[in-house]
Amino acid sequence: MESDVIVVGGGVVGLTTAVTLAERGLRVRVWSRDEVTATTSAVAGALWWPYRIEPEADAGMWALVSLRVYGELAAEPERTGVRWVAGVHADTVLERLGSWAREVPGLRQLTAAEVPGPYDVGLAARLPLIDMPVHLAWLRERFLAAGGVFERRTVTGFGAAAALARVVVDCTGAAARELVPDPGLRPVRGQLVIVENPGIEEWFTSADAGSSETTYFFPQPGRLVLGGTAEEDDERLAPDEATAAAIVARCARVRPEIARARVLGHRVGLRPARVGGVRIEAVPLPGGGRLVHHYGHGGAGVTVAWGCAERAAELVEAG
C-alpha cells in the first residue's frame, strides 16, 4: 500500500490529526476537497474555549490537552498564528463550568462593575486566540515537514482511500452527514463581520447556548472579527445584510467605537454539530482495513483539536 493512513478532510481537525500521525512515524496522506485556507476552519474566530461540544467530560479533557499545545505554539505567534490574549466571557460564572475549568490558570470572576457592556456577571481570562489562516497554513507545512503528502481530492466515499491505505480517518466535518451517512450531523450556521480594528486589544464573548445570536469580538492581526450566530439547520452560505448589521450593533453595545469601524468583509461557515456529540470511533472496512470516524466537533474543533487527534491516533495504531 502507498500509505499507512489516509486522512480525509483538510480542516483543523484533519490537519492536526495528520500531523500527530505523521510525527509518530506513519506514512500519511491528506485528501482535501479545498485548500486549507478555504475550509470551514479558516472562517473560525478561534478562541480556545469549550463551546457547544459534547460529551462534556471527554471534551474538557481534549480541550486541556489542546490548551497545553497552544500554550507552547504561542511562543512563535507569527509562525503558528497562536497568541495569548486577555478578555472577558460575559454571562459566565466560574463555579458553573465543568471540572476542566479548574485546570485553566488565571480565570477570575469579575464584579458587575468590571464587566463591559450591559452585563452583570463575567469571567476574566487569558486564553489562546488563533489566527486561523496562518495556523492552517502552518499546520500544513508542519505535516509536509514530517513526510506527509497533501492532495486536493474530492471524496464521494471511503472505498478509494481504503484501497490505498490500511486505515482511513474520516475528518470530513459536515460532509460526513452524506458520506457516512450520519443523519445526526446538523449544520450550525455562523456569520461573522470583519472590520478595521479601532484599537481594541482584548477579546469579548457573550454566548447563550440556547440562543441563535451571540456577541463576540476577537482582535486578530490587521482586523477585528465580530460575531456571531449559531443558527441550527441553516445551510445558507451567503452573508445576510440584516444579520451583519445586528452583529455590529450588538458588539457596539460593548465597545461603541465598533459602530464606526470600516467593514472589510463578511464570512459564513457551517459548524458540524452532532446529536450525541463528537464521534471518534473505529469501524472495520472490507478487506481487513479500518475506518476511524472523527467528526462532530461543532463550534469547538479548534479548542479540542490536539486532544481529539491523540485519541484518533490511538485508534489508528490499535490494530
Question: What contacts 9, CB < 8 A, 6 or more positions away?
Answer: 30, 31, 32, 170, 171, 172, 173, 175, 295
Residue 17 is placed in which grid cell? Answer: 490529526
Q: Which of 38, 30, 14, 36 is nearest to 138 (CA)?
A: 36
Confidence of residue 207 (pLDDT cuts 50, 70, 90): confident
Distance from C-alpha of 109 to C-alpha of 59, rounded to nearest angstrom? 23
- Grid coordinates representing 204 are 469579548
The whole-number average pLDDT for the span 218-246 is 96
Please tell me the pTM assigned to this model. Answer: 0.96
Domains in the chain, start-ordered, CATH in brackets? 3-317 (3.40.50.720)
Sort residue 117 into left (φ over 0), alpha (ψ -120 to 50) or beta.
left
Report how far apart, in Å, the C-alpha atoms of 110 and of each of 119, 124, 257 are. 11, 7, 23
Sheet arrangement for strand 165-170 = 149-152, 28-32, 3-8, 165-170, 290-295, 279-284
Summarize pLDDT for 261-279 with one digit per residue, the tens.
999 999 999 999 999 999 9
How much helix, strand and coil, in percent to the nearest 5, is found in the chain? 35, 30, 35
The tens digit of pLDDT for each residue in 39-85 reads 999 999 999 999 889 999 999 999 999 999 999 999 999 999 999 99
